[in-house]
Copies of this chain bind each other. A is one copy, B any other.
Amino acid sequence: MNFITFSETNLRAFTYNVFKKMGCSDAHAELATDVLIRSDLRGIDSHGVARLSGYIRLWEKKRINATPDIKIVHETPTTATVDGDAGLGLVVAPFAMQVAIEKAEKYGSGWVSVKNSNHYGIAGYHALMAVEKDMIGISMTNASPLVAPTYANERLLGTNPMCYAFPAGKYPPVIVDMATSAAANGKLEIAQRANKSVPDGWVQDKTGENSTNPNELKNGGSLLPLGSDKDHGSHKGYGLSATVDILSAVLSGANYGPWVPPFVAFLEPSANPVGEGLGHFLGAMRVDGFRLAADFKNHLDNWVERFKNAKTIDPDKKVIIPGEPEYEFEQERKISGIPLIDVVVNDLNELANKLGIEGLK
């Protein structure tokens, strides 16, 4: 496995060209590019440009609309449902978060449930939009069914991430951004490439037996909810995933549970959908709706310091503040560039070739 490093500028230009070839407007191409590049910068390689050819394949199958008419279809002063018109989640979710932020500016908080959308990239991107306005950002999405609820041996839920992001003072924002499964699918992919087994408690085989085979999903197996088994609270991971599914899709009119359309273009969406596309849930709350923003930030800084200075089992392994590793990646990669593994580079150059645009350089 070899890495080739690209500057942020070059990777942005390439990604923008791909979205333009898809037929996106300049503004949408720029926004979708920003979501993907931010993911790579933040070290979440599984959700960055590595997904570009996946988006293109969905567009080729007409499951992504490159020129969506994204709009509010229902609202109160602080709540709304947005119809994404089958657009890229990468542009639909920022639209919805912008609605939430504007409502929060006027009324203190704003909450938007989204239907008829597609994969929205990293949850944290959208939540950070609120943080930049001194708001608390909340971001969730449902996803292709890969996870079996406790006791089941079929896939009924996605890895359905939840993200809560908080503005700090002298420290980077605290960002809890997590799949509600024991392990995200990206971790299985890493084990597949390295030909390594995965820990017990990540996946089960199609009969429901524990498995350490990273390819188990291809054999009808399932990911397990956070908690892994009933004794260790898998019903909690299942409950969190259910919460994301209900807020994102039952509330908006998107597909939920096993009806969520698969991200991979070679699997067909359900012939009998219960809603439109997949769903997201975005929220923003003004910090100064509760107390002076400066007081909140001072206390969050104090919280961060106390946890950073916690007594640890291994003195060399400090307690990690949620969001800090991604922040550090971003500072470093903005300077030294974004490393991509060669299989991704080859895939992107094949894509460029197919679309008739310049390859990566």
Contact = CB atoms under 8 A, between A and B. Distances in A.
Given A108-B79, A300-B250, A74 B232 contact: no
Interface string A213-239: 000000000000011100111011111
Contacts of A109: 76, 78-79, 109, 111
A260 to B, nearest CB: 12
B74 A77 contact: no
A310 B174 CA distance: 37
A295 interface: yes
Given A79-B289, A251-B296, A322-B242, A311 B153 contact: yes
Contacts of A151: 310, 312-314, 317-320
A3 interface: no
Number of copies: 2
Interface string A281-314: 0000111011100011001101100110011111
Interface string A251-275: 1110011100000000000000011
Contacts of A207: 313
A182 interface: yes
A152 interface: yes
A310 B218 CA distance: 20
Contacts of A233: 178, 182-183, 226
Contact of A257 (B150, B180, B307): B307
B286 A299 contact: no
Contact of A76 (B108, B232, B319): B108
A291 B74 contact: yes
A306 B274 CA distance: 12
Contacts of A99: none
Contacts of A107: 76-78, 107
Contact of A232 (B154, B199, B243, B291): B199
A201 interface: yes
